[in-house]
Amino acid sequence: MVKIEIAPWCKGCPVCYNVCPAPVNVFELVDGVPKVARPEYCFACGLCAELCPAKAIILEDYEKPYHLPFGERVKSLVKKMI
Ligand code: SF4
Ligand code: SF4
């Protein structure tokens, strides 16, 4: 199960919204600012957290520890896709 939140120090740039590759975007824009709207579609790829310039994405994946290095997470995702 994935827990994803945006911290109060979010700058509102919409990088997380723009990069989310989930089949249905986890974020939606409210007055141009991303909010977590559909957390059930998050598969913990970590892109939003990795690219957020304010480090404001709080992401925990209780099944696959999120603290794997970014490259390892991407590799494991790619393996599942092919
Ligand atoms: S990328 Fe980070 S700073 Fe930008 S809107 Fe998303 S959470 Fe906020
Ligand atoms: S971790 Fe990946 S799937 Fe989940 S919200 Fe961030 S970019 Fe989208």
Range of the structural domain that residue 23 is part of: 2-81
CA distance 50 to 48: 5
For a pLDDT cut of 70, what percent of the chain falls above it?
74
Mean pLDDT of the chain: 86
Token code pair at residue 72 = 């390892």
Cβ of 6 below 6 Å from ligand 1: yes
Chain segment 25-51, per-residue pLDDT in tens: 999 999 999 999 999 999 888 899 989
Token code pair at residue 11 = 């700058």
Chain segment 9-20, per-residue pLDDT in tens: 999 999 999 999
Question: What's 31's domain CATH number?
Answer: 3.30.70.20
Cβ of 47 below 6 Å from ligand 2: yes
Q: State the total domains in the chain.
A: 1
Cβ of 29 below 6 Å from ligand 1: no
Would you state the pLDDT for residue 69? 64
Q: How far is the CA of 2 from the centre of ligand 2 (A)?
A: 10
